[in-house]
């Protein structure tokens, strides 16, 4: 059981980006397996999980749209050439056509000088969309990292279940050896020996079940890491985090403030508000005139493509202005739509802030509750171990029954499992706080620094 306690204690490191030299330098454990910590699992997921590829493509698309908007500030330069064949019979008898071939070529330049700030607003719109795409990628990373941590801790819990079942089997084997010796001395009956053999077999079955749960959890983790599922459990050793920060004190108020500053979806909501405000200004920009510089340099000649630079050359340049005076109140309708979209974006952000506030509070309260439960389960486990040891001595002295010894050992096993679950729940709550505040995105932010953020 001491081995179980040490393994359970080893699961206490909370996971906001702990560092582990064994994992980061790629050292292998005994047996040639790669030691995988939670930090390394997160790094692998960010690098290999295909879910993020879609978000990356959205960023590239939004970046290209920004470049398209910037192109509107540059002049356009076009080369044109044409050959036209004209057959005119308006003043000719039937089948007697006047035929003419026209050759022309020109170089035209156009430069939009002013368009009511429409270009500027379009560029701002594209830049806001780009920032939203970047934040959407971060939010996808946040959710992925939370899923990785949940799968990682599920593996730790299953590993601990295997260890508890193994220790239960080892303990009953030890009692079985005592029973066999007592039977040889004429003290124990054959049924007592068979009883402990049965307990060993039950513990071995529990170990098989725990190992099955471990493989299921490993498959889920390997899928998130996009690693081969058939060989993952044979090539990787999951390393529980060290117990260094399980009892840190966090400030709920500062966690809420940290979440408001760092959650990607809040920045997306703010960008949506900016986009709605930009749309209103874009609609108002149609009230302004547009001014365009133009120049055309070319040649035009009939019957021949041999241009004469003195007679066939055409040069045109000037300034063109356009000002729409009435469009059936379309602009006012666009402005009204813009204000409606702005109200919608503001309310969406307010709703998101309420959801995030509730999420952080829920995880904070769950952490406090799980910590109390863990404390109680540790006391229960210690008490169960004392009772089991006392009952064993009483059984060996003949003052307690074999049934009572079986019950005492079962209580220890159940208490150890409950304690393990409570410990992992504390870890999961801390990781949930990290995810709900956005701190999980910083892999270099260990939990002790989170304490500094939470208690400045």
Cα–Cα distance for residue pair 439/257, rounded to 1 Å: 12
Residues 6+ apart with CB under 8 A from 208: none
Say what the pLDDT of residue 4 is: 37
In a domain, 74, yes or no: no
CA distances in angstroms from 419 to 8, 179, 238, 247, 449, listed in the order given: 8, 30, 20, 16, 27
Sheet holding 313-322, edge to edge: 76-88, 98-114, 290-302, 313-322
The low-confidence residues of the chain, meaning pLDDT below 70, are: 1-32, 87-99, 242-245, 445-456
Residues 6+ apart with CB under 8 A from 324: 286
In a domain, 321, yes or no: no
In a domain, 93, yes or no: no
Name beta bridge partners: 297: 107, 315
We report the CATH number of the domain holding residue 365 as 1.20.1600.10
DSSP tally for the chain: helices H, then strands E: 12, 6
Length of the chain equals 456
In a domain, 357, yes or no: yes
Cβ neighbour number for residue 90 with a 10 Å cutoff: 6
Name beta bridge partners: 320: 292
Say what the pLDDT of residue 24 is: 36
Task: Work out how many domains the chain is built from and give that number.
Answer: 1
Say what the pLDDT of residue 444 is: 72
* pTM across the whole model: 0.78
In a domain, 318, yes or no: no
For Cα atoms 53, 59, 60, give the angle at the middle one, nearest 5 degrees: 90
Is 125 in a helix, a strand, or coil?
helix
Q: Residue 213 is part of which domain span?
A: 2-48+115-288+327-454
Tens of pLDDT, residue by residue over 137-173, are: 999 999 999 999 999 999 999 999 999 999 999 999 9
Cβ neighbour number for residue 325 with a 10 Å cutoff: 6
Cα–Cα distance for residue pair 280/278, rounded to 1 Å: 5
In a domain, 233, yes or no: yes
Tens of pLDDT, residue by residue over 331-372, are: 899 999 999 999 999 999 999 999 999 999 999 999 999 999
In a domain, 306, yes or no: no
* Residue at token pair 């000719």: 92
In a domain, 138, yes or no: yes
Residues 6+ apart with CB under 8 A from 284: 331, 335
Say what the pLDDT of residue 23 is: 35
At 278, list the tokens: 């930009």
DSSP of 14-60: --SS---HHHHTT-B-TTSPEEE-HHHHHHHHHHH-THHHHHHHHHH
Cα–Cα distance for residue pair 34/23, rounded to 1 Å: 8
Secondary structure letter of residue 239 according to DSSP? P
CA distances in angstroms from 32 to 26, 57, 218, 236, 255, listed in the order given: 11, 38, 18, 9, 41
The pair phi, psi for residue 251, each rounded to 5°, is: -100, 120
* Residue at token pair 């995105």: 441
Tens of pLDDT, residue by residue over 7-62, are: 332 333 333 333 333 333 344 444 567 788 888 999 999 998 888 888 888 888 98
């Amino acid at each position: 059981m001491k081995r179980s306690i040490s393994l359970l204690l080893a699961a206490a490191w909370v996971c906001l980006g702990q560092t582990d030299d064994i994992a980061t330098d790629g050292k292998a454990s005994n047996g040639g397996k790669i030691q995988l910590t939670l930090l390394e699992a997160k790094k692998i997921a960010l690098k290999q999980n295909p879910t993020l590829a879609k978000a990356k493509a959205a960023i590239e698309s939004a970046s290209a749209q920004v470049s398209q908007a910037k192109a509107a500030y540059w002049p356009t330069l076009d080369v044109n050439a044409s050959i036209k064949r004209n057959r005119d019979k308006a003043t000719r008898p039937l089948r007697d056509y006047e035929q003419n071939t026209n050759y022309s070529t020109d170089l035209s330049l156009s430069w939009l000088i002013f368009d009511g700030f429409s270009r500027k607003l379009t560029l701002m719109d594209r830049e806001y969309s780009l920032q939203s795409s970047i934040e959407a990628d971060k939010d996808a990373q946040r959710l992925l990292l939370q899923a990785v941590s949940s799968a990682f801790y599920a593996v730790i819990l299953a590993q601990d279940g295997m260890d508890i079942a193994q220790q239960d089997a080892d303990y009953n084997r030890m009692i079985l050896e005592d029973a066999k010796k007592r039977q040889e001395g004429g003290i124990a009956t054959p049924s007592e020996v068979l009883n402990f053999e049965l307990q060993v077999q039950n513990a071995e079955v529990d170990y098989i079940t725990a190992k099955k749960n471990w493989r299921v959890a490993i498959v889920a983790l390997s899928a998130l890491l996009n690693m081969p599922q058939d060989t993952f459990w044979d090539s990787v050793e999951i390393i529980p985090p060290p117990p260094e920060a399980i009892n840190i004190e966090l400030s709920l108020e500062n966690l809420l403030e940290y979440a408001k500053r760092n959650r990607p979806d809040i920045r997306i909501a703010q960008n949506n508000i900016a986009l709605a405000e930009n749309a209103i200004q874009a609609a108002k920009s149609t009230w302004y005139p547009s001014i365009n510089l133009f120049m055309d340099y070319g040649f035009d000649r009939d019957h021949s493509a041999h241009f004469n630079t003195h007679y066939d050359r055409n040069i045109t340049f000037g300034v063109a202005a356009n000002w729409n005076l009435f469009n059936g109140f379309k602009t006012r309708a666009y402005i009204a739509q813009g204000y409606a979209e702005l109200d919608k974006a503001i309310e969406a952000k307010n709703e998101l802030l309420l959801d995030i506030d509730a999420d952080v509070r829920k995880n904070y309260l769950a952490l406090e509750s799980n910590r109390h439960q863990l404390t109680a389960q540790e006391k229960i486990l210690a008490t169960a171990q004392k009772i089991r040891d006392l009952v064993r001595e009483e059984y060996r002295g003949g003052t307690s029954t074999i049934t009572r010894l079986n019950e005492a050992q079962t209580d220890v096993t159940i208490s150890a499992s409950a304690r393990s679950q409570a410990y992992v729940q504390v870890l999961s709550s801390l990781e949930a706080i990290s995810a709900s505040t956005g701190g999980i995105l910083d892999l270099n932010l260990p939990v002790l620094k989170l304490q500094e953020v939470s208690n400045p």
